[in-house]
Structure 1
Amino acid sequence: MATITTESKNQVATSGLEAQEDQVAPVDEGTCAWTVVVGAWCCLFCAFGWVNAIGIFQEYYQNNQLHSYSASSISWILSLEPFVLFAAGLVTGRLFDNYGPKWLLLVGTFLHVFGLMMTSISTEYYQFFLAQGICSPLGASFVFSSALSCTATWFVNRRALAFGIVSSGSSLGGVVFPTMLSRLLPSIGFGWSLRISGFIVLALLIVANLTVRSRIAPVSRKVTLNDYIGPFSEVPFVLLMLASCCGFFAMFVPINYIILEAQDNGVNRDLTGYLLTILNAASLPGRILPGYIGDKLGRFNVMIAMCSLSAIVIMALWLPGTLLSPGSAAVYIIFSMLYGFASGAFVGMVPALLGQISPDVTKIGVRQGVLFACISIASLTGSPIAGAILNRQNGTYWGLQVFAGAMMATSVFFFIAARAVLAGLSLTKKV
């Protein structure tokens, strides 16, 4: 596809999908559309919701099964979860476009549950690496990709709202799983805690298999290199990709390290176990409200505001607050609430922004896969980089905080650049 160079072409790029979908069938309404949202919500609860709980494993493994390994080594296992979740989109996106969601959901359900059950009996580093780092998130990727791609086919005018509701499943999952695990691990042990989580995932994914459907019939195509490199000829896509990658470099750093930091600074352990729950609970309105407002005021406009708030919270609260009052529980609680709300927009808004600049709905799966594959690199390396910074500074946390804040600020810059390419420098345009 040719690079967008004029305002008229920009308008075609941002509205082409809406025009095409309006010609195919009614969207944004009906029982089928909102039933898909319910099923997709279950997918996000089980997939990204589980990934949102990885912070509790960082602390647990360092004190139990993997106590002989460094924080950076352990974080590689946990960073593999979002990496595989996103990177597998290169394959799942094409499979979705060609064959639809049915088999992706079935295979994904099996792999995700199987990976959790195998994690429950793991004792060695390589076993956790294979079961929790590869098998489980691979299955999660299958259901995650199917959920987002199907939702994109059913909504246009309410797309950001629909994605916000769907992505709120990951927030609630990020509340339920850490809370449940923090209670179960000391009482019934690691094995049964993971098995109970697996049974919950299985039950919800059965619902998803029965409800998630695409509105657009799959179009069988041969795999071509241009399908994967073509989006990079579009300036808005490249800028969206850069903005998303920078944001995901930063996104999981607080999630992975805030519990450890609070405990190292003397905060009550019973309280620190709930910091991740507080963060994910606050992200629940942070996923729905920006989507609702974005459909009215402009999705890029709202995304820029939310990312700016994330950067401010990291650099103006987390960094100085923990330096000046390292043992203050209030600092960690307030930061968790504000960062959870501000960063919550990422999961729901990024697919909505991609849909806005994608002119062909029949290729939404592969385009989503290309974008998520790029994001996966940032998701894989962000937390280990932060862990390496932590080790280099002998256990002081300000370096990884600066890294997270700088990456989030860079994300804001690229989102602003993408908006400028699409609609110029006017501050009043809905973009």
Structure 2
Amino acid sequence: MASTGSLEDHTTTNSVQLDQLDSAKSLPKMKPDVEADVSQSLDHIPDGGMQAWCATIGGAFISFCTFGYASSFGVFQDYYVLAGTSTSSNISWIGSLQLCLIFLVGFPAGRLFDAGYFHSELLFGSILYLFCLFMLSLADPTKYYQLLLAQGIGMGVGGGFMLVPALSLQGHYWKKRRSMALGLVVTGSGCGGIIFPIMLNRLISGADAVGFAWGVRASGFLSLGLLVIAQLLMRTRVPGAKERAEQPKPDILGSLTDPSFVFTVFGVFLVYWGLFMPYFYLQLWLNLHGLSSTLAFYTIAILNAASVPGRIIPNVLADYFGTLNVVIPVSLTMGVLVFVMFGVTNTAAVIIFSILYGFFSGGYIALVPSVFAVLASRPEELGIQMGLGYCFTSLAMLTGSPIDGALLGHGTILHWPKPIVFSAVVMILGSGVTCIGRHFLVEKKGTKWT
């Protein structure tokens, strides 16, 4: 019996040692558990809650400071032209480059977001953006290269490392109401497009003018406060890069050969090619057609004010009827409205045009993130899908306004029909190409509510 007990004790001791050894071996294997937590977190999207709303509010502040500032470039366009910086076409390259880089940088920014570097790229983008904004205040408005470096390149790259990650983050918190959340985030740019033009116009050349330098600095201090708040509000629901296992490489080639992705992104490219013409040139149109200088002063603000409900209402409808089902008629309407510019020659016509175009263009801009999101097969691909989509469409933002400027010409004789017809035609064509992309997406997903 004693030997039996001794054998049992020995067996028990060996079992305990083996269990301890197994436990020790399992300690380094924490990464797969974290990876499982990543998948589990993205499988159970809350569609609400305090953190979700904080992420949306923080994203709106980032959109306010980046895209909102860029969409106010019409104020700078008018000021630089009158200051004799360069031709209208050359000057428009500054605003176009800024818009382009905000979204072109979205490709690496989206990849870094999917890899868990959200907070790192947000901090880097904020520092770079604010540095270049304050450098712009020190630039000489008659020196084209200084404006191009600070406003076109620096602010564009810095904004890109903030905006696309802020948009992608919404997919981790919202599913059924994702279009609504993205619409609210992009509404921030509409609010920025209201405040910044009025602020800059009054401080640079208005009755309360303090000059170009201090006008830009004032906008910089406003952006500084909002970006700090955004940094404090936004949190991710998944572990950072250091806590994750090695991520599988995204199937970029698969996206680039997917007909629904190719046609939809090309359709968005065409629409963006013509979309910003009124934002860049409407204030100049009014000044050169002898309309009220006060009305010209507030034109861009009216466009952006009308875009605020436009960035909410269509997105709410998209959650019920499908994103592509809403974005196609919106883009078609924009193309028709640009043709109407031929008749915008009095105060009432200007106000009506600004309200209608602001509403539909704001709706389109807010729907585009949802368009790219609906093309993603899994939540883990949201960042890379948005980054890829914006990477290609950013080229339209880069070239669209300079093409308009080249068609318009310079000097005393300007050819307005050329940029108007070009912008209208490409937007209408873009809505048709998006229809083809929708056809392939319906076949892929098996539902017409896309």
- TM-score w.r.t. length of structure 2: 0.85
Q: Deviations over 1:74-103 (max 9, x none)?
A: 111111110110111121111111133101
- Which of 137, 141, 144 lines up with 2:156 in the alignment? 137
Contact 1:247 1:411 in 2 (8 A): yes
SS in 1 for 2:440: helix
Q: Deviations over 1:228-251 (max 9, x none)?
A: 433111111111211111111011
Is 1:93 matched up with 2:115? no
- Structure 1 residues not aligned, in runs of 5+: 1-19
Letter in structure 2 aligned against 1:192:
W
Name the structure 1 match of 2:298: 274
User: C-alpha distance in 1, partners of 2:137/2:248?
Assistant: 38
Name the structure 2 match of 1:81: 98
User: C-alpha distance in 2, partners of 1:61/1:330?
Assistant: 28
- Which of 207, 224, 234 lines up with 1:212 in the alignment? 234
Shift of 1:258: 0.6
| Segment of structure 1 superposing worse, 183-192 or 352-361 | 352-361
Moved over 4 A (4+): 20-23, 218-224
- Give % identity: 35
Contact 1:79 1:383 in 2 (8 A): yes
Letter in structure 1 aligned against 2:441:
L
User: C-alpha distance in 1, partners of 2:432/2:245?
Assistant: 38
Shift of 1:174: 0.3
- Which of 160, 166, 169 lines up with 1:147 in the alignment? 166
Letter in structure 1 aligned against 2:225:
A
Contact 1:227 1:366 in 2 (8 A): no
Name the structure 1 match of 2:284: 260
User: C-alpha distance in 1, partners of 2:130/2:255?
Assistant: 34
Greater Rg by CA: 2
Shift of 1:191: 0.3
Name the structure 1 match of 2:386: 368
- TM-score w.r.t. length of structure 1: 0.89
Is 1:289 matched up with 2:309? no
User: C-alpha distance in 1, partners of 2:311/2:42?
Assistant: 30
Give the count of matched residue pairs. Answer: 400
Taking the TM superposition and a 5 Å limit, the aligned residue runs for 1:20-419 are 24-64=43-83, 67-123=84-140, 124-186=143-205, 187-217=209-239, 227-315=251-339, 317-319=340-342, 321-322=343-344, 326=345, 328-391=346-409, 394-419=413-438
Contact 2:111 2:383 in 1 (8 A): yes
Letter in structure 2 aligned against 1:248:
Y
User: C-alpha distance in 1, partners of 2:405/2:235?
Assistant: 40
User: C-alpha distance in 2, partners of 1:28/1:210?
Assistant: 21
User: C-alpha distance in 2, partners of 1:254/1:220?
Assistant: 48
Contact 2:270 2:426 in 1 (8 A): yes
Shift of 1:347: 2.5
SS in 1 for 2:277: helix
User: C-alpha distance in 2, partners of 1:229/1:72?
Assistant: 36
- Structure 2 residues not aligned, in runs of 5+: 1-38
User: C-alpha distance in 2, partners of 1:342/1:292?
Assistant: 14
User: C-alpha distance in 2, partners of 1:397/1:429?
Assistant: 40
Q: Deviations over 1:360-379 (max 9, x none)?
A: 22222122111111011000
User: C-alpha distance in 1, partners of 2:275/2:327?
Assistant: 14
Shift of 1:50: 0.6
RMSD: 1.9
Contact 2:408 2:415 in 1 (8 A): yes
